[in-house]
């Protein structure tokens, strides 16, 4: 889907016109993938709009930057305020928010020292990431996720998404909606842009971060919701074949939200319908983000924008 433009983009502390947020082709990031970024959703609610887990996302952005020795000249509070400013200035809700820290135009060597750090925050409308009736059909990719000590999986870096693209393109080329990558040991890691959860015999499992999975904010939210709903949940290494014999499998992510999986490698999961536990968690998640249940974990940052679409149940 082509990007739907908005009016302003936050750049290094100022709101600039969308069309002026451009980069030189010789910028460091273009050649070496030197960026870290976030993806955040702002939800429409009956009483206005709210950004989901804003400080946690911006802290992860700072953490990603720290791993890559990028010195971001803004505090967590300044970055969160920048997100609120751009969302309110554009007046678009619901929306997807894309903050990015990158190494700009300066020197062309691999050493990033002479290239300035630039920070941008954009927002725009973005609907469902995975369109599916009753669950996504996915595959296990022939591409592994990043091996430890190669590209750090805990950093949400632009360059990591070359691996995600390989996984996603292979899946699409073979008629699937998404691909799941295994880690360097052949254990389940994550989707190209989602964390994975498995339900078997009433227990919820998700791979540990050591399996090269991103520390997903939605993953953390689902772990919290499951514990509060009294559902047993454990983070542990998962063999690939456990996915095939699971009762339920679902993805989590800012873009994918809570997404049931119908089949993996054409093997139908459970009875082929979104499972009870998946539904319980999805219902709770959407009720909170859409403002239909109290924000009991303090996950929402209200913004002064009226939602343009009715709240989804
Ligand atoms: C590779 C990868 N894993 C997991 C996730 C889910 O993370 P989050 O829930 O923070 O969006 C994403 C999306 O950001 C991702 O790109």
Beta-bridge partner residues of 188: 182
For the CA atoms of 58, 63, 65, 71, the dihedral, rounded to the nearest 10 degrees, stands at 90
The closest residue, in CA terms, to atom 7 on ligand 1 is: 216
Q: Which of 36, 38, 39, 250 to mutate to test ligand 1, by most ligand atoms within 8 A of the CB atom? A: 39
The closest residue, in CA terms, to atom 6 on ligand 1 is: 253
Q: pLDDT tens digit string along 204-222?
A: 999 999 999 999 999 999 9
CA–CA distance from 49 to each of 93, 221, 297, 301 (Å)? 7, 19, 17, 8
Which atom of ligand 1 is closest in space to residue 195's alpha carbon?
Answer: 4
Confidence at residue 1, expressed as pLDDT on a 0 to 100 scale? 83
Which atom of ligand 1 is closest in space to residue 218's alpha carbon?
Answer: 9
How many A from CA of 195 to the centre of ligand 1? 6
Give the tokens for residue 303: 């913004």
Q: pLDDT tens digit string along 278-306?
A: 999 999 999 999 999 999 999 999 999 98
Q: pLDDT tens digit string along 19-45?
A: 999 999 999 999 999 999 999 999 999
For residues 235 and 216, the answer to whether their CB atoms sit within 8 Å is no
HEC string for the chain: CCCCCCCEEEECCEEEEHHHCCCCCCCHHHHHCCEEECCEEEEEECCEEEEECHHHHHHHHHHHHHHCCCCCCCCHHHHHHHHHHHHHHHCCCCEEEEEEEEECCCCCCCCCCCCCEEEEEEEECCCCCCCCCCCEEEEECCCCCCCCCCCCCCCCECCHHHHHHHHHHHHHHCCCCEEEEECCCCEEEEECCCEEEEEECCEEEECCHHHCCCCCHHHHHHHHHHHHCCCCEEECCCEHHHHHCCCEEEEEECCCEEEEEEEECCEECCCCCCCHHHHHHHHHHHHHHCCCCCCCCCCEEEECCCCCCCCCC
How many A from CA of 280 to the centre of ligand 1? 21
Catalytic residue among 113, 128, 156, 279: 156
How many A from CA of 299 to the centre of ligand 1? 17
Beta-bridge partner residues of 205: 198, 234
Confidence at residue 307, expressed as pLDDT on a 0 to 100 scale? 82
> Helix 217-228 and helix 276-289: axis angle, to 10°?
110
How many A from CA of 238 to the centre of ligand 1? 18
18 phi and psi angles, rounded to 5 deg = -45, -45
Q: pLDDT tens digit string along 173-205?
A: 999 999 999 999 999 999 999 999 999 999 999
The closest residue, in CA terms, to atom 5 on ligand 1 is: 194
Confidence at residue 312, expressed as pLDDT on a 0 to 100 scale? 56
Q: Is 293 a catalytic residue?
A: no
How many A from CA of 82 to the centre of ligand 1? 22
> Which residue ranges have their beta carbon within 6 Å of ligand 1?
39, 164, 190, 193-195, 214, 216-219, 252-254
Predicted TM-score (pTM) of the model is 0.97
Q: Which residue has the tokens 């904010």?
A: 217
């Amino acid at each position: 889907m082509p990007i739907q433009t908005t009016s302003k983009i936050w750049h290094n502390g100022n709101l600039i016109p969308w069309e002026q947020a451009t980069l030189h082709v010789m910028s460091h990031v273009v050649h070496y993938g030197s960026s870290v970024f976030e993806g955040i959703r702002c939800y429409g609610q009956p009483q206005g709009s709210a950004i989901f887990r804003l400080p946690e996302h911006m802290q992860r952005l700072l953490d990603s930057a720290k791993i890559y020795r990028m010195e971001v000249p803004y505090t967590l509070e300044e970055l969160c305020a920048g997100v609120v400013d751009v969302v309110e200035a554009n007046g678009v809700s619901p929306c997807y928010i894309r903050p990015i820290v990158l190494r700009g135009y300066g020197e062309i060597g691999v050493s990033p020292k002479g290239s300035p750090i630039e920070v941008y925050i954009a927002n725009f409308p973005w609907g469902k990431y995975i369109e599916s009736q009753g669950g996504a059909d996915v595959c296990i990719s022939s591409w592994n996720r990043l091996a430890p000590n190669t590209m750090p999986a805990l950093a949400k870096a632009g360059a990591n998404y070359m691996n995600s693209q390989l996984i996603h393109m292979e899946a699409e080329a073979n008629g699937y909606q998404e691909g799941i990558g295994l880690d360097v040991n052949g254990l389940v890691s994550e989707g190209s842009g989602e964390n994975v959860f498995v339900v078997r015999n009433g227990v919820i499992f998700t791979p540990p971060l050591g399996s090269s999975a991103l520390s997903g904010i939605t993953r953390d939210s689902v772990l919290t919701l499951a514990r509060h709903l009294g559902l047993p949940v454990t983070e542990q290494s998962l063999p690939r074949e456990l996915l095939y014999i699971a009762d339920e499998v679902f993805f989590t992510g800012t873009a994918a939200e809570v997404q049931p999986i119908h089949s993996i490698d054409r093997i139908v999961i459970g009875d082929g319908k979104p499972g009870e536990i998946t539904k319980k968690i999805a219902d709770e998640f959407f009720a909170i983000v859409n403002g239909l249940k109290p924000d009991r974990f303090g996950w929402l940052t209200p913004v002064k924008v009226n939602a343009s679409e009715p709240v989804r149940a």
